[in-house]
Structure 1
Amino acid sequence: MMLGCLSVLGCHTRSDDAGTVVVLIESSPNSLDPRVGTDAQAEKIDGLIFDALVRKDERYEFKPWLATSWERPDATTWVFHLRDGVRFQDGRPLGAEDVAWTINSMVDGTLITAKGGNFASVQTARAKDRLTVEVKMKRADESLLFNLSDGLFGVVPKGSGREFGRVPVGSGAFRFVSAEQDKEVVLERVPSYWAGSRGNIERLRLSVVPDAVTSALELRKHSADVAVNVVTLDMVRALERVPGLKDETGPGSPVMYMNFNVTAAPLNDKRVRQAVAFAMDRKAIVDALWLGRARVADTLLPPGHWAAAAPGELTQYPHDPARAAALLEAAGYHADKDGVRLRLEMKTSTDETTRLLAEILQQQLRAAGIALTLRSSEFGTFYADVTRGAFQMYALRWIWSNEDPDIFHYAFATSQMPPVGGNRGRYSNARVDSLLAAAATTPDVSARRADYVEVQKILADELPAIPLWYPNNNIVHTDRVSGIVGDGSGSFDFLRDAVVK
């Protein structure tokens, strides 16, 4: 067993006090300014330091947080009413001017940030009074609330500039203490946090450990307390048998998917894409790669999402190699003397799970007469090829962005082909474009859902991409930490209420 072989290497010696919890992270955050940080570590840590205007519930609907309520006087105006009595961690009161500054600084050139694209439809935000913010839009955009929600947004003090991420100040449950690149980020609890907490963790040391094996050893020796989706599943299974360690596993919202380049033969024929779907045995792949800790997906939206179509509303693709072969035959791809009807190429990164997925898929597609060639490269090269359309098919994962139904616009709208958006397969359907445009601008939730369900029906039939599965979130922790309840996005929010012995 790998962990046993490497145990002689040893790990960090624990020197923290009893109130400190050590959380393993894979890399340093690219910024602790919530207006700038876009990597997973930044958004998870920022969620502890800062507060959003609204929070998503289990159906990914929006609930009050810093904003106690909001209304729409017209299609291009939002008015938010803020909670009174909230203070930043340095004692300053949080008010409407801070919220307006946070939004405006991402769109008026104060900051150069990739997150500015989330607010491209915003004209300006202004404080109407101490606790009321008015946001004027250039056009109607129903995704504004999503972009103001937890994991994506955090209110900063008015005047915060480009260097704010070095010593960030928010209104969240933990305040920033220090950060050292490629080593750690240290936070400490705010006793007077406005939302209260059932937890008693006094200090968090978020320790950077890039290697999964080293992370597993840290947990095994109790040199670290918590790791969220850091170690591989075979390591999780080994760690579950170590005295004093536990694993909390639960449904995750990120989705793995396979994408097709639909601009050229043979994948410009939906029958070929459907044949690939029927030739796959996704349940077998889940059992083999994810040890059963994943759920087969029918759509990009997480299960239980308010806009997700029910499985019965969508075309299904159970494992059926004979049906796949029949579709290829109907499309004019006849078996040669070796039984091969069609040759395809799949590009992957060097990520181990994706590479193994491709190898299993290669075997499964062979039964339908599809010879699959694999091309693997480091992620930068792989992603560059994907973005410029130099592929036939590939597999990737949507993380967090698929919690907003606007993912269908970003991934499939004709207007969103790279470099503008994420429609890397160059799919184009006028009906889908029309439905997405309507869904993005109507405030009627039932009408929006109907439009999104219709989009999902079309995508399930035409299959420019195949939703694969939703991997579980796995939180491995020592038994000195309890009260851990994870969420679908795999955030660190549970640390607010966790208890340390």
Structure 2
Amino acid sequence: MVIESSPTNLDPRIGTDGQSEHIDALIFDALVRRDEHFNIQPWLAQSWETPDPLTVVFHLRSGVHFHDGRPLSSKDVQWTIMSILNGKVPTVKSQAYRNVDHIDTPDPLTAVFHLKKADPGLLPSLSDGAIGIVPAGSGRDFGLHPIGSGPFRFVSQEQDKEVVIERNPMTWGTPPAIERVRFAVVPDSITRALELQKGSADIGVNALTADQVYAMRNDARIVVESGPGTILNYISFNTRDFVLKDARVRQAIAFAINRPLIVSALWRGRARIAESLLPTEHWAWSSNVDAHEYDPTRANALLDAAGFKRGRDGVRFHLTIKTSTDETGRTLAVVLQQQLRAIGIDLEVRSFEFATFYADIAKGAFQMYTLRWIGGNEDPDIFRYAYATASAPPHGANRGYYSNPEFDALVAEAAVTPSQSGRAAIYAKMQQIVAKELPAINLWYLDTVIVHNRRLRNVHLSSSGTFDFLREATVDQ
């Protein structure tokens, strides 16, 4: 399988990039899993109950063992979460469990979470992709030689070259049909396409450009499978910037972007227009928000009303957008540059190697940037993480320092509302606020696209672009 980059850390308590989380989900098991509508279902925990708002009791599945033969027990659940909270491992995931006070283990198959305050977001934070259960005693270097209980066990890894996993014969579920998987790190998309075409690689998930997928669609040796995905392209604004602090400017930029044209040209139609952070399949998604269809006349009127008149050269003001050196990110920025020029905005594009780019946006050193949400936008707590005043770096991803007291009050209300229907109504209000004020522009949800050779069968698409299909896929010999 070809992947774009090495996982940053295979300790599920630490790794937050897409490669780490997708491979971790094969090596480790979570307490619970999310279904296609992102509702919580049993996994390691066969059941749970909440005797009061501050207590959650999990009943674990019996007969589960780690890859080294140790039985998985409630002590391992306790260690996994508390090692995050007590600083035994360096991780940004501690915010997800900030409301956990302590965990009791009255017997090997019972874990009792005691909370500081009610937290409806706890279960999603304990689900697949968010965390996996590690053996008690796992330390800071655990990610170099991870030991989980999942359907595959870790074999080896070499930075910027490969990660190798193999079938776990002791899995408590159905053993995978595939015996061994090598994740080959191939940063260049052209090389990834060539590896797939010549058969030296079997599969890639969201690993090729839309043009490459289009070119390979009629190759008799290749199968292209695609479906609606949840990965979200977005543009974020620095709301403390002199120009961008005016919501009318942010709205004007949204109306100036011809998203259907970009989806058609850059993505060959393999994307869905987005107006919310949440995917449309999500139980908390709301359609009752301001839409931003392409309307340059309205965009010009908003900029005029905000006091930014055109100069003699037709330019109202200058902005800079930052992106990584990823090919599609740079191409998107150039298209935005062209489209914003039509409404009098001179947009400068600056692209950087990913580590430098991410360091800049994490400390707020930008006016605009474009990036993707991968997985994080499947949990409605994303609204707190991305837009709450208290989530400004280093406490969250509110990198543009957006602040709205009404929005913050809704975040606090959602945190203590027990019913899903009640929280859905609150999240609908949040979506209305951010769709109006636009601390960021949600562009489109990318389709999940899997390209594989024909000997690989029983490949099931995941809207999240995960590698879970490897649990059930088969290979013709």
Instruction: Indicate how the Cα distance of structure 1 residues 385 and 176 shifts in structure 2: closer, same or farther if over 3 A, else same.
Output: closer
The one of 336, 348, 366 aligned to 2:323: 348
**2:397 aligned partner:** 422
Task: Please say which of residues 158-167 and 478-487 is displaced more in the overlay.
Answer: 158-167
Matched, 1:150 2:128: yes
**2:421 aligned partner:** 446
- CA–CA distance in structure 2, aligned partners of residues 463 and 163 of structure 1: 41
- CA–CA distance in structure 1, aligned partners of residues 62 and 85 of structure 2: 26
The one of 214, 226, 233 aligned to 1:256: 233
- The 8 Å contact of residues 178 and 475 in structure 2, kept in 1 or not, is answered as yes
**1:108 aligned partner:** 86
CA distances 1:431-469 after superposition (whole Å, capped 9, x unpaired): 000001111222121111111110110111111211011
Query: Which stretches of structure 1, 4 residues or more, deviate above 6 A after TM superposition?
Result: none
- The 8 Å contact of residues 65 and 170 in structure 2, kept in 1 or not, is answered as no
The one of 367, 370, 378 aligned to 2:345: 370
CA distances 1:218-241 after superposition (whole Å, capped 9, x unpaired): 111111111112222222222333
Matched, 1:267 2:239: no
**1:489 aligned partner:** 464
Q: Mind listing any 5+ residue stretches in structure 2 that lack a counterpart?
A: none
Report the residue type matching 2:194 in the other structure: L
TM-score for both structures, normalised by structure 2: 0.94
Task: Please say which of residues 38-47 and 299-308 is displaced more in the overlay.
Answer: 38-47
How far apart are residue 192 of structure 1 and its match?
Answer: 4.5
- CA–CA distance in structure 2, aligned partners of residues 294 and 482 of structure 1: 25
Matched, 1:209 2:186: yes
Please give the residue correspondences for 1:25-174 in structure 2 after superposition, counting only pairs within 5 Å: 25-174=3-152
- The 8 Å contact of residues 253 and 340 in structure 2, kept in 1 or not, is answered as yes
- CA–CA distance in structure 1, aligned partners of residues 372 and 88 of structure 2: 32
Report the residue type matching 2:26 in the other structure: L
How far apart are residue 157 of structure 1 and its match?
Answer: 2.3
For the pair shown, the structure with the greater C-alpha radius of gyration is 1
**1:180 aligned partner:** 158
**1:407 aligned partner:** 382
Report the residue type matching 2:235 in the other structure: M
Matched, 1:361 2:329: no
Matched, 1:295 2:272: yes
Please give the residue correspondences for 1:190-339 in structure 2 after superposition, counting only pairs within 5 Å: 190-196=168-174, 199-310=176-287, 313-339=288-314
State percent identity of aligned pairs. 56
Instruction: Indicate how the Cα distance of structure 1 residues 221 and 452 shifts in structure 2: closer, same or farther if over 3 A, else same.
Output: same
How far apart are residue 210 of structure 1 and its match?
Answer: 2.6
**1:18 aligned partner:** none
The one of 371, 391, 409 aligned to 2:366: 391
- CA–CA distance in structure 2, aligned partners of residues 284 and 231 of structure 1: 20
- CA–CA distance in structure 2, aligned partners of residues 446 and 156 of structure 1: 33
How far apart are residue 113 of structure 1 and its match?
Answer: 3.0
The one of 465, 472, 489 aligned to 2:447: 472
- CA–CA distance in structure 1, aligned partners of residues 307 and 6 of structure 2: 52
| Cα RMSD, aligned residues only | 1.9
How far apart are residue 135 of structure 1 and its match?
Answer: 1.0
- CA–CA distance in structure 2, aligned partners of residues 324 and 50 of structure 1: 48
Report the residue type matching 2:223 in the other structure: K
How far apart are residue 472 of structure 1 and its match?
Answer: 1.4
Instruction: Indicate how the Cα distance of structure 1 residues 169 and 262 shifts in structure 2: closer, same or farther if over 3 A, else same.
Output: closer
- CA–CA distance in structure 1, aligned partners of residues 159 and 336 of structure 2: 39
- CA–CA distance in structure 1, aligned partners of residues 323 and 66 of structure 2: 45
- CA–CA distance in structure 1, aligned partners of residues 353 and 164 of structure 2: 32
- The 8 Å contact of residues 222 and 453 in structure 2, kept in 1 or not, is answered as yes
Instruction: Indicate how the Cα distance of structure 1 residues 342 and 500 shifts in structure 2: closer, same or farther if over 3 A, else same.
Output: same
Instruction: Indicate how the Cα distance of structure 1 residues 75 and 378 shifts in structure 2: closer, same or farther if over 3 A, else same.
Output: same
Task: Please say which of residues 50-59 and 226-235 is displaced more in the overlay.
Answer: 226-235
- CA–CA distance in structure 2, aligned partners of residues 382 and 178 of structure 1: 29
Q: SS at the partner of 2:249?
A: helix
How far apart are residue 64 of structure 1 and its match?
Answer: 0.7
Matched, 1:379 2:364: no
- CA–CA distance in structure 2, aligned partners of residues 37 and 327 of structure 1: 42
How far apart are residue 338 of structure 1 and its match?
Answer: 3.9
Task: Please say which of residues 111-120 and 241-250 is displaced more in the overlay.
Answer: 111-120
Task: Please say which of residues 472-481 and 240-249 is displaced more in the overlay.
Answer: 240-249
The one of 24, 45, 50 aligned to 2:2: 24
Report the residue type matching 2:466 in the other structure: S
- CA–CA distance in structure 2, aligned partners of residues 343 and 186 of structure 1: 48
How far apart are residue 322 of structure 1 and its match?
Answer: 0.9
Instruction: Indicate how the Cα distance of structure 1 residues 267 and 241 shifts in structure 2: closer, same or farther if over 3 A, else same.
Output: same
How far apart are residue 176 of structure 1 and its match?
Answer: 2.1
- CA–CA distance in structure 1, aligned partners of residues 414 and 238 of structure 2: 26
How far apart are residue 188 of structure 1 and its match?
Answer: 1.9
Q: SS at the partner of 2:380?
A: coil
Please give the residue correspondences for 1:1-16 in structure 2 after superposition, counting only pairs within 5 Å: none
Instruction: Indicate how the Cα distance of structure 1 residues 202 and 77 shifts in structure 2: closer, same or farther if over 3 A, else same.
Output: same
Report the residue type matching 1:134 in the other structure: V
Report the residue type matching 1:194 in the other structure: W
Matched, 1:500 2:475: yes
Task: Please say which of residues 426-435 and 265-274 is displaced more in the overlay.
Answer: 265-274
- CA–CA distance in structure 2, aligned partners of residues 387 and 224 of structure 1: 35
Q: SS at the partner of 1:210?
A: coil
Instruction: Indicate how the Cα distance of structure 1 residues 180 and 387 shifts in structure 2: closer, same or farther if over 3 A, else same.
Output: closer
How far apart are residue 362 of structure 1 and its match?
Answer: 2.0
- The 8 Å contact of residues 211 and 267 in structure 2, kept in 1 or not, is answered as no
Instruction: Indicate how the Cα distance of structure 1 residues 186 and 265 shifts in structure 2: closer, same or farther if over 3 A, else same.
Output: closer
How far apart are residue 347 of structure 1 and its match?
Answer: 2.7
